[in-house]
Amino acid sequence: MKITQVAVSHLNVALAHPTRTPIGVIDAARNVVIRIDTDSGISGWGEASPFAPITSDSQDSNYIAAQQIAALLIGHDPREIEARMTQIHRFTLGEPSVKSAFDMALYDIAAKSCDLPLYQFLGGNKRAMRTDLTIGMQETVEQTVALAQDILDAGFDAIKMKVGRADLQDVPHVRAVRELAGPEVAIKIDSNQGWDYPTAVASLLAMQPLNLQYSEQPLAAWDYEGLARLRDKVSLPICADESVFNHHDALKLIKLDAVDYLNIKLGKAGGIHTGLKINAIAEAAKVKCMIGCFGESRLGLSAAAHLAMARPNITFLDLDSAYHFTDDPVVGGITYDNDIGGLLHLPDAPGLGAEIAPESLKNTQLVGG
Query: Using CB under 5 A as the criterion, which residues of the chain lie in contact with Mg ion when the complex forms?
Result: 190, 216, 241
Q: Which residue is nearest to Mg ion (CB)?
A: 241
CA atoms of 70 and 68, how far apart (whole Å): 5
Choose between 44 and 194: whose C-beta lies nearer to Mg ion: 194
Q: Is 362 a catalytic residue?
A: no
DSSP state letter for 164: -
Choose between 95 and 241: whose C-beta lies nearer to Mg ion: 241
Number of H helices, E strands in the chain: 13, 16
Q: Is 337 a catalytic residue?
A: no
Q: Is 190 a catalytic residue?
A: yes
Choose between 216 and 223: whose C-beta lies nearer to Mg ion: 216
Q: Hey, CA dihedral for 261, 310, 268, 359, is it positive or negative? A: negative
β 215-216/330-332 pair status = unpaired
Catalytic option among 37, 57, 223, 241? 241
Residue 115 burial (CB < 10 Å; 0-12/13-18/19+)? exposed
Catalytic option among 99, 160, 265, 268? 265
Q: Is 162 a catalytic residue?
A: yes
Minimum Å gap between C-beta 332 and Mg ion is: 27
Non-local (6+) Cβ contacts of 365 within 8 A are 7, 8, 9, 63, 67
Catalytic option among 162, 188, 268, 288? 162
Q: Which residue type does 290 have?
A: M
Minimum Å gap between C-beta 54 and Mg ion is: 8
Catalytic option among 57, 108, 216, 242? 216
CA atoms of 147 and 177, how far apart (whole Å): 9
Minimum Å gap between C-beta 290 and Mg ion is: 9
Minimum Å gap between C-beta 292 and Mg ion is: 6
Residues with catalytic function: 162, 190, 216, 241, 265
